[in-house]
Structure 1
Amino acid sequence: MLKKEQVSAELSRIIVITLQNKPQIQVSTSRVKSGDLVFVMGTGFTPDRTAMSHLRRPDGSEYNPLRLRTNGRGEFSHKIDTTMLDTGAFEVWVEDEASKVLSNRTQFTVE
């Protein structure tokens, strides 16, 4: 049988998980000319923690993930310089390292 303190702690954990938003990202543009910048903005991540950004190339391979720091509101912004990127469609998603929850996936195309 669970003690009152154990039940209370478990309920608190469930409430925190329930209230946490699913992380969301968006990119500043869906199409960009080679050499221009793309900004990735994220919300709903664990505040003051880290998130791992993933970028998939048009050929399906992935760049090494990049660790980002979230602010006190669980937000971040990051710029991608497309100068060295191939042309084609790139896919971006971000993992909240504290909760292990993945954001939505979004794309941008380098022309």
Structure 2
Amino acid sequence: MEENKTYWFDVGPVSAIPLRGARTVKTPRREIAVFRTASNDVFALENRCPHKGGPLSEGIVHGHKVACPLHNLIIDLETGMAAGDAGCARKFPVKIERGHVYLDMGVAASA
């Protein structure tokens, strides 16, 4: 079994992601939403609500949560878990260095 390797991709400056908003990154396998909270914390989830497939990047960010724009289901940005046991959005490792957001594309490219 092959081990996942870490490949950090520069998504851009933190300031390019709106406060309490998101920016999307398209990969060959999926679209990833990179969120920035009011307190400048950054999280990345697959841009798909686990309940009805809504685009999470278009949802309202409040605290460390996002509300799906289709039906207001609340998703935890830290874990990807949906409220009420409605599933889980896949989360991806991110880091911030020198004011830029980096996404682990090794994880993003895996199944």
Q: Same fold (TM over 0.5)?
A: no
Shorter-chain TM-score category?
under 0.3
Q: Which has the larger radius of gyration?
A: 1
TM-score in terms of structure 1 length: 0.28
